[in-house]
Amino acid sequence: MKTLVLSGINLFEGGPLSIFYDCLDEIIRQHVNEHYHIVAFVHKKNLFEKYKNDVELIEFQDSRDSYFKRLRYEYVYFYEYSKLHDVDVWFSLHDITPHVKANKIYTYCHNPSPFMKKDITKIKYSATNVAFSFFYKYLYRINIKSATGIIVQHNWMREEFLKMFPITNVIVARPTMHVDYEYIPKAQNQTCKTFLFASYPRYFKNFEIICEACNILKRNDFEVWFTLKGDENAYAYDLRKRYKNIKNIKWLGIQPREKVLEMYNQINYMIFPSTLESWGLPISEFKLTGKPMLLADLPYAHETLGAYDKAIFFNPYDEKELAIEMERLLDGKEKFAIASEQPIRQPFAKNWEELIHLILK
């Protein structure tokens, strides 16, 4: 029986962990585990309890203790493991192309940090994120030429990889969209219209451009809802301190997913000004409402949105432009962009089913 290794020893929460789950779910759905010995290198076994009867789970609880330990596993331990086992496919699910012996090696790269606008002043909010924006491209580069294929979620990211690294084998693979709610239209408040930006407060999410736009508008006929309170981290604290006197902004605090989905029913518009995204799931979710969206005029937003007739794109570094577009919406004078689905050249997998077929063929 052939061996398929899935390595994701740093994945423990959020979207990256969901990628691991989606991959395993599709492998089991396709009965791949009946033809391959599936080995999953995981951070903690208890996160993968439901897979224990179908997959061999090997735990690396100390993998997040330091980058030294992580890299030692990727380039030393995994190599020793691969020499002792006849590995057909090694699928690394977290950015690093390991040093291993295998017939085929694939690396899933979902961190767009190397392609974000560099700003050393943001180090006060997160030294790790700033460091990643400068150094992650060097981490990607290590051993990248040994990969059979590099997998990314967006076509724009493939083009950046092709420009940045000496490779040609980059696969675009769409993530699975877990949009598990039904949009129920509700009557909207026409006297005080509402914008929503639902996100955890990280500096590249760019909350401040909305705050500055509100400062420019100085109108009383709208609200902006933020899913932060001001005590979550240094960035959130700074935002609340600087903009607490803007009456248009409602500081709601972090909300459970179910509440955010309910907010989609209640609000008039969504603003998504983030300057860095691996996908941009709220865009995909909110698209189902058919309501207007104000989106950062960046490649990820165009590609995630696809075809839609109620989108407005704005420069995410120009608060005056955002204020103008918000005012047009409030006054019923909006000018929507013509957003269409762009064809993606091969190699391309539109879902996990196609990607599993591609890497195992």
**Per-residue pLDDT tens for 259-293?**
998 899 899 999 999 998 888 889 998 998 999 99
SS3 assignment, position 66: coil
Hey, what are 184's tokens?
């129920």
Distance in angstroms (rounded) separating the CA atoms of residues 264 and 257: 11
According to DSSP, the residues that pair with 108 across neighbouring strands are 151
Categorize the per-residue pLDDT at 185 as very low, low, confident or very high, splitting at 50, 70 and 90: low
Q: pLDDT of 206-217, one tens digit each?
A: 999 999 999 999
Mean pLDDT of the chain: 91
Quote the CA–CA distance of 305 and 296 in Å, as a whole number.
11
| Backbone φ/ψ region at 174: left (φ over 0), alpha (ψ -120 to 50), beta | beta
Share of the chain above pLDDT 70, in %: 92
Cα separation, 297 vs 271, whole angstroms: 12
pLDDT at 188: 62
**In contact, 70 and 11? CB cutoff 8 Å:** no
Question: What pLDDT digit, counting tens, does each position of 144-182 carry?
Answer: 999 999 999 999 999 999 999 999 999 999 987 666 666
**CA pair distance 286, 77, nearest whole angstrom:** 43
- pLDDT bucket at 66, cuts 50 / 70 / 90: confident
Token pair in block for residue 26: 């599709």
pLDDT at position 126 over 80: no
pLDDT at position 176, please?
75
Q: How far apart are CA 288 and CA 267, in angstroms?
A: 14
**26-54: string of b/e by CB count within 10 Å (b at 16+)?**
bbbeeebbeebbbbbbbbbeebbeebeeb
Give the span between the Cα atoms of 338 and 310, in whole angstroms.
8
Query: Which helix (H) or strand (E) is 338 found in, with range?
Result: strand 337-339
Average pLDDT over residues 187-205: 86
